[in-house]
Structure 1
Amino acid sequence: MTTTTQLAAGTESMAERAYQVLRDRLIMMDIAPGDPINEAGLVDDLGVGRTPLREALKRLEVDHLVQSYPRRGTFATRVDITELADITEVRQVLEPLAAAKAATLRGGAARAGIEATLEAVSQLSGENLRRTLMENDLEVHRLIYQAAGNHHLEETLIRLDNLATRIWCMALDRLPSVDEHIAEHVSLLQAILDGDAPVARQLALEHIVHFEKSVRAVL
Structure 2
Amino acid sequence: MTIAPDELERQPASLADRAYAALTDRLIMLEIPPMAPIDDVAVAESLGVGRTPVREALKRLEIDRLVVSYPRRGTFATGVDITDLAYISEIRVQLEPVAARRAAEKSGDAARAKLAELAETIRTNDVHTLARDELMHWDMRVHRAFYRAAGNPHLEDTLVRYNNLATRIFCLFLDRVSHFDAHIGEHAGLLEAIAAGDGARAATLARDHVTGFEKAIRAIL
TM-score higher than 0.5 here? Answer: yes
2:16 maps to amino acid = A
1:150 is aligned to 152
Q: TM-score, normalised by structure 2?
A: 0.89
For the residue of structure 2 that corresponds to 1:19, the secondary structure is helix
Instruction: State the Cα deviation string for residues 119-159 of structure 1 (Å, max 9, x = none).
Output: 33231423432221111000000111100000010000000
Q: Distance in 1 between matches of 2:116 and 2:31?
A: 29
Is residue 101 of structure 1 aligned with residue 102 of structure 2?
yes
Contact kept? 2:119, 2:189, Cα under 8 Å: no
What is the distance in 2 between the residues matched to 1:54 and 1:110? 34
String of CA shifts for 1:80-126, please: whole Å, max 9, x gaps.
10000011111111000000000113566644542443233231423
After superposing the two structures, state which structure 1 stretch, 175-184 or 193-202, moved more. 175-184
More relative contact order, 1 or 2 (CA 8 Å, 6+ apart): 2
- Where does 1:69-148 land on structure 2 (aligned, <5 Å)? 69-106=70-107, 110-122=111-123, 123-148=125-150
Q: Which runs of 5+ in 1 are unaligned?
A: 1-11
* 1:187-209 deviation digits (Å, cap 9, x = unpaired): 00111111110100000010001
- The residue correspondences of 1:28-47 to structure 2 (distance < 5 A) are 28-47=29-48
Match of 2:177 among 165, 175, 178: 175
What amino acid is aligned across from residue 52 of structure 1 in structure 2? P
TM-score, structure 1 length as denominator?
0.90
Contact 1:102 1:108 in 2 (8 A): no
Task: Give me the identity figure in percent.
Answer: 55
Contact kept in structure 1, 2:100 and 2:203, CA below 8 Å: yes
The alpha-carbon distance between structure 1 residues 34 and 184, as it changes in their structure 2 partners (threshold 3 A), is same
Matched residues, number? 208
CA, structure 1 residues 14+83, in 2 after alignment: closer, same or farther (shift >3 Å)? same
The Cα of 1:50 is off from its aligned counterpart by: 1.1
Partner of 1:215 in structure 2? 217
Q: Counterpart in 1 of 2:3?
A: none
Counterpart secondary structure, 2:59: helix
Q: Residue 176 of structure 1: CA displacement?
A: 2.1
Query: AA paired with 2:54?
Result: L
Comparing 99-108 and 158-167, the one that deviates more? 99-108
Answer whether contact 1:108 1:148 (CA < 8 A) is retained.
Answer: no
Mapped to 1, the partners of 2:144 and 2:126 lie a distance apart of: 18
- Rg: which structure is higher? 1
Partner of 1:163: 165
Residues of 1 paired with 2:39 and 2:84: CA distance? 27
In structure 2, C-alpha distance between the alignment counterparts of 1:111 and 1:51, rounded to whole Å: 38
> Is contact 1:126–1:177 with CA below 8 Å preserved after alignment?
no
Q: Distance in 2 between matches of 1:50 and 1:63?
A: 20
| Structure 2 residue 25 is the aligned partner of structure 1 residue 24 | yes
Is the deviation greater in 151-160 or in 98-107? 98-107
Aligned to 1:13: 14
Change in Cα spacing, 1:126 to 1:112, as seen in structure 2 (3 Å) is same
* RMSD (CA atoms): 1.5
**Cα pair distance change 1:162/1:191, threshold 3 Å:** same
